[in-house]
Amino acid sequence: MQRTSRLKRELHLLTTEPPPGIMFWQNKNRMDELGAQILGGANTPYDKGVFNLEVVVPERYPFEPPKIRFLTPIYHPNIDSAGRICLDVLRLPPKGAWRPSLNISTLLTSIQLLMSEPNPDDPLMADISSEYKYNKEVFIKNAKQWTEKHASQQKRSEELESSRVAEGNIGVEGTSWLIKSSPCYHRQPHQITWVINLSNSVLTLVRLFTPLLLLGGGSRTHFSDG
């Protein structure tokens, strides 16, 4: 009960006043399964990157911290290949610094800060940590390449659109994801509604006229054969 009421307040706050560069939404209408995006900060190797994260809220929340991991690969000393994050506020005492007074917004902001300021002395990836400490130029080059390969907003949008076209399954869900990927998502809800409505209208027209076009094509074939 406490988790439900607490999450409702947090979701409302995150939706109406999200931290800069952070977006947040519910997955499948389940309050305990949440999605988030962090935009790579300027003047970092992650600039212009869009990083998706998974947030799972345990039953004992807020007395137990949410489990958060990166879904988008990122080249970082404190984030491993499975997306797990080495950050004290994500762990319970005595090894961690989680307190019930903290919230999901605080955690996402802390992760955003960790992206800008890695902690090589408490690494999950020892080789990347060593590179960060002793060969910073190579680290920056590799991190930028990973960001371009895995977190480029344009590339991710194109891949999503291509896969849906191939499957013949372009719909509002895909449009909604692309809209949420935009930095202006949380600031212009009326425009988002307008875009989704427009998308629905276009999809409806396509569905209506496709059978007629196919029928017309069939008629022309019939006459040419005759």
CA 71 to chain centre: 8
Please tell me the distance from the alpha carbon of residue 40 to that of residue 50, in angstroms, as a whole number: 6
Whether 127 contacts 120, CB under 8 Å:
no
pTM over 0.85: no
pLDDT attached to residue 175 = 32
Please tell me the distance from the alpha carbon of residue 156 to that of residue 147, in angstroms, as a whole number: 11
pLDDT attached to residue 63 = 96
Q: Which residues are catalytic?
A: 86
The 10 Å Cβ neighbour count of residue 65 is 23
Please tell me the distance from the alpha carbon of residue 204 to that of residue 178, in angstroms, as a whole number: 19
Query: Which of 79, 80, 100, 97 has its CA nearest to residue 88?
Result: 97
pLDDT attached to residue 15 = 82
- Which residues, 6 or more positions from 69, have their beta carbon under 8 angstroms from its beta carbon? 53, 54, 82, 83, 84, 85
pLDDT attached to residue 166 = 52
pLDDT attached to residue 125 = 98
| Amino acid found at 6 | R
pLDDT attached to residue 2 = 83
pLDDT in tens, the chain (226 residues): 688 899 989 988 888 888 999 998 887 778 789 999 999 999 999 999 999 999 999 999 999 999 999 999 999 999 999 999 999 999 999 999 999 999 999 999 999 999 999 999 999 999 999 999 999 999 999 999 999 999 997 655 655 555 445 544 433 333 333 334 333 333 333 333 333 344 444 444 445 444 444 445 444 333 334 3
pLDDT attached to residue 161 = 57
